[in-house]
Amino acid sequence: MNISINDIKNGMTIIIDGKLCMIEDFQHVKPGKGSAFMRIKLRNLKTGALVENTYNTNITVEKARVDRMPMQFLYVDGNNYIFMNTETYDQIELSKDKIGDNANFLKEGLEVTIAMYEGEMLGITLPEKVEYEVIETQDATKGNTTNNAQKDATIETGYTIKVPLFINQGETIVVSTSDGKYAGRA
């Protein structure tokens, strides 16, 4: 389905210049002289690259239908991550390169969304915040009262993040999956 470039929205998936892209941000620009144009930040869904281009306002783009399926992470098998469709119970495998840094936050039973386009897996979307158990951290140094002092903590997935000094081994914390930072106690 073709749409005018003036009808785009953030988060929309389109095919432009022969590439499957998601619109991260756009700006309609009307200069004092000359015709108006669109400045668009696009994320290539196959490579993950972020590019910014300008386009005339009179072109049309093809709107792409990307299916998003609710899935549950089951386990890791070598370099493959196994997921189960929560509606049909079908299992699929995704390689580590398709998952990228999201692999740091996958734990057994975690509900994720997998994006697919024409039968090809594009990647996964994690919940914004997830609870993890701290499996290893050092004890706080006595007398360290520096503002915002932090220490390393390893969560149950094996990923290491910075946490406040009062967090102890065995505690459950909330981590933001978008930036990998401590977001609070559970």
Per-residue confidence at 96, pLDDT binned at 50, 70, 90? confident
Per-residue confidence at 141, pLDDT binned at 50, 70, 90? low
> Whole-prediction pTM value?
0.71
The CATH superfamily assigned to 129-185 is Nucleic acid-binding proteins (2.40.50.140)
Please state the rounded mean pLDDT for residues 107-123: 87
Rounded Cα distance between 29 and 61, Å, is: 18
Quote the pLDDT of residue 140: 66
Residue type, 67: D
Structure tokens at 95: 């390689």
- Fold adopted by 67-125: OB fold (Dihydrolipoamide Acetyltransferase, E2P) (2.40.50)
Q: Which of 131, 118, 121 is nearest to 99 (CA)?
A: 121
Helix (H, G, I), strand (E, B) or coil at 32: coil
Say whether pLDDT at 7 is over 70.
yes
Between 71 and 48, residue with greater pLDDT:
71
Quote the pLDDT of residue 149: 81
DSSP string, 77-140: ETTEEEEEETTT--EEEEEHHHHGGGGGG--TT-EEEEEEETTEEEEEE--SEEEEEEEEEPPP
- List the CATH code of the domain at 2-63: 2.30.30.30
Same fold, 2-63 and 129-185: no
Domain positions in the chain: 2-63, 67-125, 129-185
